[in-house]
């Protein structure tokens, strides 16, 4: 299956994104209006097949320098287990507004192994928070 990833928000299938997030463990409380607001306020990524059918989604909040927060990474039912989550994560981390950020964080309950492969580590004793620290500190 040929795929591509785009940050063009006009390509996003908002209803499909909302349905997937609404059925997730983290987004059950969200209304369609809330989902739309999160999209409007974030850098968004859709992964698509050659027929322009959206297969997954992810978004990031960032200041572009110090901190980025990856959220709502989800591959839609029927397309999981094909490496699309890895492709999407790699793309997000290489995106110009994110790849130079000092600290990239996320929360997950069930994908620690996926993110550890990209350098994320548990934060303290949290069961969900993970971070990738790219900063260098001049500590004396």
Is position 43 within any domain?
yes
For CA atoms 34, 129, 76, 59, the dihedral sign is positive
The pTM for the full model equals 0.92
Is position 126 within any domain?
yes
Range of the domain at 67: 3-133
Token pair belonging to 42: 């974030």
Is position 138 within any domain?
no
DSSP 74-125: EEPTTSTTSSHHHHHHHHHHHSTTTTT-SEEEEE-SS-HHHHHTTT-EE-TT
pLDDT tens track for 40-89 = 999 999 999 999 999 999 999 999 999 999 999 999 999 999 999 999 99
Instruction: Name the percent of the chain lying above pLDDT 90.
Output: 94
Query: Rounded to an integer, what distance in angstroms lies between the CA atom of residue 39 and that of residue 47?
Result: 15
Number of domains in the chain: 1
């Amino acid at each position: 299956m040929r795929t591509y990833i785009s940050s063009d928000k006009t390509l996003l299938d908002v209803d499909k994104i909302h349905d997937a997030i609404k059925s997730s463990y983290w987004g059950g409380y969200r209304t369609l209006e809330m989902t739309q607001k999160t999209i409007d306020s974030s850098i968004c990524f859709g992964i698509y097949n050659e027929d322009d059918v959206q297969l997954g989604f992810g978004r990031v909040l960032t200041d572009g320098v110090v901190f980025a927060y990856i959220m709502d990474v989800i591959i839609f039912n029927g397309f999981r287990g094909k490496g699309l989550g890895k492709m999407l994560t790699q793309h997000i981390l290489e995106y110009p507004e994110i790849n130079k950020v000092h600290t990239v964080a996320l929360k997950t309950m069930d994908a620690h192994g996926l993110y550890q492969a990209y350098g994320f580590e548990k934060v303290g004793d949290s069961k969900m928070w993970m971070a990738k620290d790219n900063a260098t500190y001049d500590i004396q």
